[in-house]
């Protein structure tokens, strides 16, 4: 699209705080010769790897020609100034597309799922939901060579000791021949494949689902689904039990006792007047559940059981676990939450985010690819438009902004 307001845009964007993560200037100044420093660091890692069972021959073969990619440090040091509210997070992660795709994938991989869920005693829809959230069912793997990213993070920036462990794990994966080096691409932090395992997680939990003798989480859907099932199984999944369910709190409910970890017998919650949102009875028992209030007592509320903690173990964030759990329910035909979130400006699905980006591009904003992912450029453009429309310029993609831009084409 041709730009319609470049001078204004340029002027305003210079005045706004830059949302892009910047290279840590201290690191940049310190590393006048990062290649030399990297080479020295690799020598140390060679000894570390040897002590952990990676032969120096393998190390030399796998790291030959390896150079650092300092751009990954931007992500390491990036502190998002913008925390997405839970309703934005769920609106894009559990949208109509991902539910429809999940239903199709569950049907397509029914035999594979049946085997994995029988072997590991895990709910098939939850396996599919992890896949859907982690890589959009195999569409988004990340494009960074793992050894380059993890080698860099092992030698520069914070958390070098953690990342050097992952670097050595990556060498072990490649040395075993499970995955070819040129195929091992992933996120900036080293998560890779259909279900975005970290290398150390791969070594602990990846399994061969299709029986070809290799654990290939990049190229084999059966391997990835079986490995996810194994992850949930080892995390303590109790098949046949729910992750939890939405509940309705009585008027004037005292929410001082809440939280995933503060588990109480169901009889405690029924005694306080908590009831299921779907109208089914809560059978009072000793089963322990915590009261999850992602947006406080005014928003959707949930009683969560042990299986919720197992999902949480995949990526330690309650909003993440709720997205997986809810997506699994929706794939099984469940409905959206009954109690609305406490906002008058709901979040956008990925389809709506792409529409918003298209409208922003049409107004001349250089937002890059229309991909439904609201990054720094899109957020900056949103701020400019919010300012123009007299809205709070917080960079948030919401329904109100989308409606205004539709009306102002």
Please report, as ranges, the residues that interact with Ca ion according to CB under 5 A: 208, 210, 212, 214, 220, 223
- Identify which of residues 69 and 210 has a Cβ nearer to Ca ion in the complex: 210
- Identify which of residues 214 and 354 has a Cβ nearer to Ca ion in the complex: 214
Do the strands 185-186 and 259-265 form a parallel or antiparallel pair, or are they unpaired? Answer: unpaired
**In 3-state terms, what secondary structure has residue 76?**
helix
- Identify which of residues 214 and 264 has a Cβ nearer to Ca ion in the complex: 214
User: 161, exposed or middle or buried, with CB in 10 Å at 0-12, 13-18, 19+?
Assistant: exposed
Q: What are phi and psi of 302, to 5 degrees?
A: -140, 140
Q: Smallest distance, Å, CB 204 to Ca ion?
A: 17
Q: Report CA 305 to chain centroid distance, whole Å.
A: 22
146-155 vs 34-51: helix axis angle to the nearest 10?
Answer: 100
CA 401/CA 397 separation, integer angstroms: 7
Q: Smallest distance, Å, CB 138 to Ca ion?
A: 15
What is the CB neighbour count within 10 angstroms for residue 351? Answer: 13
- Identify which of residues 21 and 219 has a Cβ nearer to Ca ion in the complex: 219
- Minimal CA–CA distance to 174: which of 209, 218, 205? 218
Q: Smallest distance, Å, CB 226 to Ca ion?
A: 9
- Identify which of residues 221 and 381 has a Cβ nearer to Ca ion in the complex: 221
- Identify which of residues 101 and 223 has a Cβ nearer to Ca ion in the complex: 223
- Identify which of residues 212 and 369 has a Cβ nearer to Ca ion in the complex: 212
- Minimal CA–CA distance to 374: which of 400, 393, 399, 348? 348
- 247 bridge partner residues: 276, 301
CA 337/CA 314 separation, integer angstroms: 23
Q: Smallest distance, Å, CB 189 to Ca ion?
A: 25
Q: Smallest distance, Å, CB 193 to Ca ion?
A: 12
Q: Alpha-carbon Rg of the chain, whole angstroms?
A: 24
CA 311/CA 320 separation, integer angstroms: 8
Q: Smallest distance, Å, CB 184 to Ca ion?
A: 15
Q: Smallest distance, Å, CB 222 to Ca ion?
A: 7
């Amino acid at each position: 699209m041709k730009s319609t307001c470049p001078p204004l845009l340029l002027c305003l964007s210079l005045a706004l705080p830059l949302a892009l993560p910047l290279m840590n200037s201290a690191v940049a100044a310190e590393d006048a010769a990062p290649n030399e420093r990297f080479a020295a660091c690799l020598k140390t890692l060679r000894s570390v790897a040897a002590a952990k069972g990676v032969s120096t021959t393998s190390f030399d073969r796998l790291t030959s020609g390896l150079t650092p990619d300092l751009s990954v440090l931007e992500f390491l040091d990036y502190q998002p100034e913008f925390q997405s509210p839970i309703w934005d997070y769920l609106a894009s992660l559990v949208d109509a597309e991902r539910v429809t795709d999940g239903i199709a994938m569950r049907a397509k991989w029914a035999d594979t799922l049946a085997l994995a869920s029988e072997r590991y005693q895990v709910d098939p829809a939850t396996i599919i939901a992890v896949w859907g959230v982690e890589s959009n069912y195999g569409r988004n793997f990340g494009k960074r060579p793992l050894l380059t990213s993890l080698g860099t993070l092992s030698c520069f920036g914070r958390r070098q000791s953690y990342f050097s462990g992952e670097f050595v794990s990556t060498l072990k994966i490649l040395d075993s021949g499970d995955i070819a080096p040129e195929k091992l691409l992933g996120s900036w932090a080293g998560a890779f494949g259909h279900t975005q395992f970290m290398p150390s997680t791969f070594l602990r939990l990846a399994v061969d689902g299709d029986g070809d003798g290799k654990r290939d989480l990049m190229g084999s859907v059966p391997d990835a689904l079986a490995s996810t099932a194994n992850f949930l199984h080892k995390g303590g999944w109790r098949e046949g039990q729910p992750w939890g369910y939405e509940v309705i709190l009585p008027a004037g409910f005292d929410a001082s006792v809440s939280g995933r970890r503060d588990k109480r017998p169901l009889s405690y919650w029924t005694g306080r007047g908590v009831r299921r949102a779907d109208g089914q009875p809560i059978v009072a028992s000793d089963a322990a559940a915590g009261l999850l209030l992602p947006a406080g007592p005014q928003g959707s509320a949930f009683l969560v059981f042990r299986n919720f903690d197992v999902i949480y173990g995949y990526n330690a964030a309650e909003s993440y676990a709720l997205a997986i759990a809810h997506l699994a329910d929706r794939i099984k035909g469940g409905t959206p939450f009954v109690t609305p979130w406490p906002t008058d400006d709901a979040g956008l699905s990925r389809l709506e985010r792409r529409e918003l980006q298209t409208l922003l591009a049409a107004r001349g904003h250089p937002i890059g690819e229309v991909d439904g992912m609201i990054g720094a450029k899109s957020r900056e453009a949103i701020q400019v438009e919010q300012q123009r429309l007299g809205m709070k310029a917080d960079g948030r993609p919401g329904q109100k902004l989308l409606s205004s831009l539709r009306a102002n084409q």
